[in-house]
Amino acid sequence: MRRSALAYGLLASVALTSPVMANDDVKKASADPNNWAMQSGSYNNWRYSELDQVNKSNVKDLRVAWQFSTGVLRGHEGSPIVIGDRMWLHTPFPNNVFQLDISDPVGPKIVWKYTPKQDPSVIPVMCCDTVNRGGVNIVGDTLIFGQADTTLVALDANTGKEKWKTVNGDPKKGETHTGFTLVVGDKVIMGTSGAEFGVRCHVTAYNIADGTRAWRAYSMGPDEDILVDPEKTLSLGKPVGKDSSLKTWTGDQWKIGGGSTWGYASYDPDANLFYYGTGNPSTWNPAQRAGPDGKQIDQKWSMTIFARNPDTGVAAWAYQMTPFDEWDYDGINENVLVDLKVGGEDRKVLVHFDRNGFAYTIDRLNGEVLVAQPYDEDLNWATHVDLDKDSATYGRPIVVASKSTFLNGPDVNSKYVCPAALGFKDQQPVSYSPLTGLFYVPVNNVCMDYEPFQVSYTPGQPYVGATLSMFPPEGKTNTGHFTIWDAAEGKIVHQHDEPFSVWSGVLTTAGGLAFHGTLDGYFKARDQEGGAELFKHRLPSGSIGNAFTYSQGGKQYVGIFSGVGGWAGIGLAAGLDKPTDGLGAVGNYAGLKSYTDLGGTLTVYALP
Amino acid sequence: MRRSALAYGLLASVALTSPVMANDDVKKASADPNNWAMQSGSYNNWRYSELDQVNKSNVKDLRVAWQFSTGVLRGHEGSPIVIGDRMWLHTPFPNNVFQLDISDPVGPKIVWKYTPKQDPSVIPVMCCDTVNRGGVNIVGDTLIFGQADTTLVALDANTGKEKWKTVNGDPKKGETHTGFTLVVGDKVIMGTSGAEFGVRCHVTAYNIADGTRAWRAYSMGPDEDILVDPEKTLSLGKPVGKDSSLKTWTGDQWKIGGGSTWGYASYDPDANLFYYGTGNPSTWNPAQRAGPDGKQIDQKWSMTIFARNPDTGVAAWAYQMTPFDEWDYDGINENVLVDLKVGGEDRKVLVHFDRNGFAYTIDRLNGEVLVAQPYDEDLNWATHVDLDKDSATYGRPIVVASKSTFLNGPDVNSKYVCPAALGFKDQQPVSYSPLTGLFYVPVNNVCMDYEPFQVSYTPGQPYVGATLSMFPPEGKTNTGHFTIWDAAEGKIVHQHDEPFSVWSGVLTTAGGLAFHGTLDGYFKARDQEGGAELFKHRLPSGSIGNAFTYSQGGKQYVGIFSGVGGWAGIGLAAGLDKPTDGLGAVGNYAGLKSYTDLGGTLTVYALP
Ligand SMILES: O=C(O)c1cc(C(=O)O)c2c(n1)C(=O)C(=O)c1cc(C(=O)O)[nH]c1-2
Ligand SMILES: O=C(O)c1cc(C(=O)O)c2c(n1)C(=O)C(=O)c1cc(C(=O)O)[nH]c1-2
């Protein structure tokens, strides 16, 4: 069965007349498993596909169907999207976009290529390689994506011609874009990066029709800036109250407070809420952020999961995982929306594997934390998350004093903190399989030494203030796990060693498989039951992209970007050698240079 | 059977004591079909392998065994070399070199990477992309290669540590390196590029032991510069006589005379002669090169095949294919050494598919031209090559006056000249199969309009003086052929259309197959009998590399570089748009942008 993009009205050349309502369009396109219609597969961020042609018994026969070199080096995150016989593919900086006609099974044709001209001075203000994980979104005949320099671009999806462009931030101040763009209703919502440069970050909504700004919600600042309703926005079951953010910062520090929003977003159409996380407070030297009393202070709403209404931006609830961060445990990791029986009750939850090493199962309607357990065994910076509602520390991690880089103080090297700054999981998204009801988690098994130091703020200059070394946990040589997780119980079901951190996003399918890439350049298929490797094949370069699948001409394809880079691959991507360069990533992943070099390629596998 | 590099003494860490004699070493390594020990497979440039595990019936089952992204964009010419379980791989500028351990069948490990620091100002003086087709040579434990900036480098093949470096030319004057380095005896002989910049080019020999210069033979100039013996060096059966070059230039023009030596070289150990060709005289505007009488003049020894003694550099013979070039028909194409029955007699010949569209079969011991016939049907600039020994025009092409850009004069557009400047064949080498006794020729089926104009010489500035358009012959839309050639008869045996010029070198094997890449990104296997396509598979990018094969752990691998570029791909490689840019190549290959983008990858195929 040959299906064309026309079937989705994508190629209709009629002008946009009425306000676009993305939901139905996106839901329809992503409900058809032949498509991979959005970065996360669907609004709920499951990264699960109903396609089952490739299954446990035949996956060993997968072979490279075709490949496409993107013409760009450095880290390739995210994935293409596919609707009908068209694929849209994005690259890291300079953020080229291609439309491919994939109707020919032996190889694609390039229909158009969009090559933005961006000022390369944005490159040095991108903290963690020139990546773009947010990729492209499609709604109606409009293709929307964000560039590194924060330009939000809408193209005619069929012709590649510009419809409108708007600028979300200023790279001269360290504001960049690598993360999500989410199309919901008549809006596109966009995150921002910059917490390593003292940017006060936000999410901002633009109208799809014309690119005008609809609302902006900062991560910190006055209530009207952060779009909370003091009476109605909840945190841990209670209204956040007036000045919930301002109260938790010393003086004006919130103005350079960080809280980047560079991960993925998910959306619950029934609740009409979208979910995303905020990153670290700036700087990484916690001493500089102490409260007026010289003690820890929360720095809200950094390190927070927000549930917001996409029409107004107003928050329904907020939950801060790591108050007063002292380790760069950005809270930006994706939130996967599932309905689970937790403690015997059917709950609408989100599941979130935080950088801080705890996996949270949270009621997604009100923000109540149901489960919070470490998803790797070496976590040592906190004893647990206090879930006793009557406790003074309700909802908070209980920090181990010896691992507190604040208590140890500046210019003291806090040794052996696990996880490392890049978390037990970083940008690489997990997958949820409804077949098993379990989560498939690409894990960094990494610890660190962390030495904060005094740093002063200059716009557009790094505002980090810490020296890091990273390394595997004691007694281990590998820095990765592939972990299967029960989010209702908060338990590891299976755990497999990986030589390097799995910096690539997982895909699960109705074929009973879980797919992912590896930094050393393998594409792997695993059994959803147990996680055993059923297939592995060497890609041209290390992969930090997300596995995806689609069907075309009756054939299932499973694909992934290779192109090593990101924070883990920054040594290769930016040509750095010193072990503490790249905030410690260079030393930790030095072994990668025995396996792979740069180069962006899309590889698409199929059965013979 | 697991074979290690040790078997070849390569990993022996003993110091070099006696002068290296490359011949035995290279012959031994290249005689073992498990290796691909030199760029051309063997000294005779057959590009033929005795390996036959992959054959006509199973080739359809080939699949990608593993790939290696080189970390470099732009055109990837040549191929890696393989000895035992080690592969050495080179890239275009910046000319990185890797040693890979290929003993693991699922993917290689990088043992070392050599990253020269070259001044990027060499890039704009490379005429036809930042390619390097000469790749690496190995002799004993020494790895030798030339960089774009003409630096000749010798590394310890096992460790990647520098042994010595020497500089062959000056990029500030337009002297660059892309072509051969040939190890013979105790010397390495190196070609040079620069005829588009008025460089007087040469081949130069260096002592392998320490990199000191042994001899240099210019393409033009006084006898002592060009290393001819007026009495003994033959041309068309006669001694060349005194001042054979000087006599054929007006005034001092030979000093900026071109005659680049950027192709491949072959070597006959029995005759102790090596063979290579020289390129166009500078400038491309023939009016500026007219003789003192205002008429055509030969401009020797541009456009010439030389047979030279590698020990002394002295020429045994020289044959000029295109005296007084008016079309940029560089004579640099490789010379394949075979023993053939020609006209009923066993002859030791070389076979040469010239840019000018004639395929020459030449006695390689004395330079007698036995056969000279067009290898594509559209040749129209000459009626034939005169092989009548008694004729005044013996050995010369008989030019069609209307196609003479000299007779038409400067600022006149000579229309519809076939072949175009890039010849019916350019850098992409042919293969000879002893199974069939036939040649497998990757052909450009391209014509041109050529308008010369006055240009003045400034060192390091382009010295071209012509505007070109290129296009397929009338009535055709494709620009390529894959042609099977009988060099004894001078006849096309089979010809297959290719959508684009086949800019990739051919490999033949004892499995009865001929392999090559395509500009639009396919790797193809053809039947040596008849040339039918038996397998095709899409590579990540267009290929201008040379197919090669080796065996490791009992398994035959067939590999090729992809990474579009070279002259044909210069539009993509250098981001040019105007049809006449890249001396007309941009317009002719504009269609490529619908198929491929940049990116260097080695792909290695094997049977399941
Ligand atoms: O705070 C920020 O603004 C910010 C931005 C980014 C980014 O934009 O990629 C990363 C991080 N932080 C970060 O903490 C981090 O671990 C990280 C990893 C990566 C990556 O692509 O591999 N990006 C980022
Ligand atoms: O005259 C020269 O010095 C010179 C150099 C080169 C080169 O070094 O690649 C090419 C040519 N000429 C040339 O004429 C030509 O057609 C050509 C094609 C290519 C290529 O790599 O695709 N190089 C060159």
Number of C-beta neighbours around residue A155 at 10 A:
24
For residue B370, the CA-to-ligand 1 centroid distance in Å is 68
For residue A567, the CA-to-ligand 1 centroid distance in Å is 7
Using a CB-CB distance cutoff of 8 angstroms, which residues of chain A are in contact with residue B593?
Answer: 110, 113
Q: Using DSSP bridges, classify how beta strands B97-101 and B109-114 pair: parallel, antiparallel or unpaired.
A: antiparallel
Number of C-beta neighbours around residue A472 at 10 A:
19
pLDDT of residue A20: 58
For residues B457 and B198, the answer to whether their CB atoms sit within 8 Å is: yes
**Closest C-alpha among A322, A445, A331 to residue A377:** A445
CB neighbour class for B106 (10 Å; exposed up to 12, middle 13-18, buried from 19): exposed
Atom of ligand 2 nearest to the CA of B126: 8
Instruction: Report whether A196 belongs to an annotated binding site.
Output: yes
CB B460 near ligand 2, within 6 Å: no
Whether residue B237 is predicted with pLDDT greater than 70 in this model: the reply is: yes
Give residue B19's pLDDT band: very low, low, confident or very high (50, 70, 90): low
Q: Residue A208 gets which letter from DSSP? A: T
What is the distance of C-alpha A327 from the center of its chain? 18
Nearest CA in chain B to A593: B110
pLDDT of residue A27: 84
Atom of ligand 1 nearest to the CA of A280: 1
For residues A340 and A349, the answer to whether their CB atoms sit within 8 Å is: yes
Residue A327 has φ and ψ, to the nearest 5°, of -140, 5
Q: Where are the beta strands (DSSP E) in A418-479?
A: 431-433, 438-444, 447-452, 466-471
Nearest CA in chain B to A606: B63
Mean pLDDT of chain A: 95
Q: Report the length, in residues, of chain B.
A: 608
Q: Which of B71, B593, B603 sits opposite A598 (nearest CB)?
A: B71
Q: How far is residue A473 from each of residues A72, A524, B254, measured CA to CA in Å? A: 34, 24, 69
Chain B positions contacting chain A at CB under 8 Å are: 63-73, 98, 106-107, 109-111, 113, 521-522, 536-541, 562-563, 572, 593-601, 603
Considering the candidates A25, A186, A328, A378, report the single residue annotated as catalytic: A328
Is there a contact between B540 and A73 if contact means CB atoms under 8 Å apart?
no
Q: How far is residue A153 from each of residues A40, A72, A192, B6, measured CA to CA in Å? A: 20, 20, 15, 57
**Closest C-alpha among A569, A562, A556, A568 to residue A607:** A556
Q: Which of B63, B562, B597 sits opposite A71 (nearest CB)?
A: B597
pLDDT digits (tens, 9 = 90+) for A314-348: 999 999 999 999 999 999 999 999 999 999 999 99
Q: Which of A68, A106, A540 sits opposite B68 (nearest CB)?
A: A540
Which ligand has the nearest atom to the CA of B419? 2
Instruction: Report whether A388 belongs to an annotated binding site.
Output: no
**Closest C-alpha among B336, A608, B236, B545 to residue B244:** B236
Q: Where are the beta strands (DSSP E) in B300-417?
A: 304-308, 315-320, 335-342, 345-353, 358-363, 369-374, 382-385, 397-399, 414-417
Residue B549, both tokens: 């094969």
Give residue A23's pLDDT band: very low, low, confident or very high (50, 70, 90): confident
Whether residue B16 is predicted with pLDDT greater than 80 in this model: the reply is: no
For residues B93 and B123, the answer to whether their CB atoms sit within 8 Å is: yes
What is the distance of C-alpha A286 from the center of its chain? 25
As a whole-number percent, the residues of chain A with pLDDT over 70 amount to 97
Mutational pocket test of ligand 2: of B330, B422, B561, the residue with most ligand atoms within 8 Å of the beta carbon: B330
Residue A368, both tokens: 């109540």
pLDDT of residue A380: 98
Best to test chain A binding among B597, B604, B605, B607 (most A CBs inside 10 Å): B597
Residues of B classed as catalytic: 328
For residue A133, what are the contacts with CB-CB under 8 A and spacing of at least 6? A39, A77, A78, A178, A179, A180, A262, A264, A427, A546
* Residue A495 identity: Q
Number of C-beta neighbours around residue B186 at 10 A:
20
**Closest C-alpha among B236, B191, B433 to residue B332:** B191
pLDDT of residue B102: 98
A422 dihedral zone (left: phi>0; alpha: psi -120 to 50; beta): alpha
ipTM of the complex: 0.94
pLDDT of residue A19: 52
For residue B264, the CA-to-ligand 2 centroid distance in Å is 12
What is the set of domains in chain A, with CATH numbers? 5-10+48-606 (2.140.10.10)
For residue A57, what are the contacts with CB-CB under 8 A and spacing of at least 6? none
**Closest C-alpha among B79, B38, B11, B66 to residue B555:** B66
CB neighbour class for B518 (10 Å; exposed up to 12, middle 13-18, buried from 19): buried
* Mean pLDDT of all residues in B223-231: 98
Calpha distance A60→A66 (Å, rounded): 17
pLDDT of residue A511: 98
Atom of ligand 2 nearest to the CA of B199: 3
Calpha distance B99→B109 (Å, rounded): 9
For residues B96 and B70, the answer to whether their CB atoms sit within 8 Å is: yes
pLDDT digits (tens, 9 = 90+) for A44-101: 999 999 999 999 999 999 999 999 999 999 999 999 999 999 999 999 999 999 999 9
Whether residue A10 is predicted with pLDDT greater than 80 in this model: the reply is: no
Is there a contact between A601 and B69 if contact means CB atoms under 8 Å apart?
yes
pLDDT digits (tens, 9 = 90+) for B466-478: 999 999 999 999 9
Is there a contact between A113 and B539 if contact means CB atoms under 8 Å apart?
no
A346 classed as catalytic: no
Q: Using DSSP bridges, classify how beta strands A513-517 and A522-527 pair: parallel, antiparallel or unpaired.
A: antiparallel
Q: How far is residue A298 from each of residues A302, A303, B134, measured CA to CA in Å? A: 8, 9, 62
Give residue B25's pLDDT band: very low, low, confident or very high (50, 70, 90): confident
Number of C-beta neighbours around residue B393 at 10 A:
12
* Mean pLDDT of all residues in B243-261: 98
Residue A137, both tokens: 């979104």
pLDDT digits (tens, 9 = 90+) for B80-136: 999 999 999 999 999 999 999 999 999 999 999 999 999 999 999 999 999 999 999
Whether residue B506 is predicted with pLDDT greater than 70 in this model: the reply is: yes
Residues in the ligand 1 pocket, defined by CB under 6 Å: A 77, 127-129, 131, 178, 193-196, 260, 262, 279-280, 328, 330, 422, 426-427, 566-567
pLDDT digits (tens, 9 = 90+) for A339-366: 999 999 999 999 999 999 999 999 999 9
Give residue B380's pLDDT band: very low, low, confident or very high (50, 70, 90): very high
Whether residue A2 is predicted with pLDDT greater than 90 in this model: the reply is: no
Best to test chain B binding among A58, A63, A67 (most B CBs inside 10 Å): A67
Is there a contact between B67 and A540 if contact means CB atoms under 8 Å apart?
yes
For residues A494 and A483, the answer to whether their CB atoms sit within 8 Å is: yes
Calpha distance B498→B504 (Å, rounded): 12
Calpha distance B572→A3 (Å, rounded): 31
* Mean pLDDT of all residues in B291-320: 98
Is there a contact between A66 and B593 if contact means CB atoms under 8 Å apart?
no
For residue A349, what are the contacts with CB-CB under 8 A and spacing of at least 6? A337, A338, A339, A340, A342, A361, A362, A363, A364, A370, A487
Tally A–B CB contacts below 8 A. 108
Number of C-beta neighbours around residue A24 at 10 A:
11
pLDDT of residue B23: 78
